[in-house]
Amino acid sequence: MSKAERRPKIAVYAGSFDPVTLGHLDVVRRAIWLFDQVIVAVARRQEKHPLFSFRERVRLARAAVKGIPGVEVAGFDRLLVDFVHRKHACAVIRGLRAVMDFDYEFQMALTNRKLAPHVETVFFVPSEKFFYLSSSLVRELASVGGELKCFVPEPVERALRKKFASIRK
């Protein structure tokens, strides 16, 4: 069966992306090598009190992945496995940085498997240069005016500078 004849392999990479980092993009680029399409799914997650609004996070994620073929961005506010079903995806993508990520991600993967046995969770380890990188670290750096160019895409850097400038006023 040719690639054109089979159903496309779609993966969902879900997170709050507050904000999207170069580490996230590293995972997206790795995932697109294995899947026909990757959907970056921005979770509403208001309980986390995000720096950026839901709409801002979706907009910034779209700007960050612009130009990466096969990647799209969508927001969601429901159970992840329901979103995965609606998008006809076969896998959930997760990034693993450190051992502390593993326990949480393992619990989530097993829970998702119980809810949707036909959906696989695929873990990606980021490049060494992004292994330590997190959105919370980026927010902390931005809050004190730190260097951001090597951590986030340019549209995200601009948005962070603008956001913290307005907070300081």
**C-beta of residue 69 within 8 angstroms of C-beta of residue 28:** no
Active site residue 24: yes
What is the distance between the terminal CA atoms of the chain, rounded to a whole angstrom? Answer: 60
**C-beta of residue 41 within 8 angstroms of C-beta of residue 12:** yes
Active site residue 85: no
Active site residue 127: no
Active site residue 48: yes
Catalytic residue among 9, 45, 62, 97: 97
Catalytic residue among 16, 57, 94, 135: 135
Residues annotated catalytic, as ranges:
24, 48, 97, 135
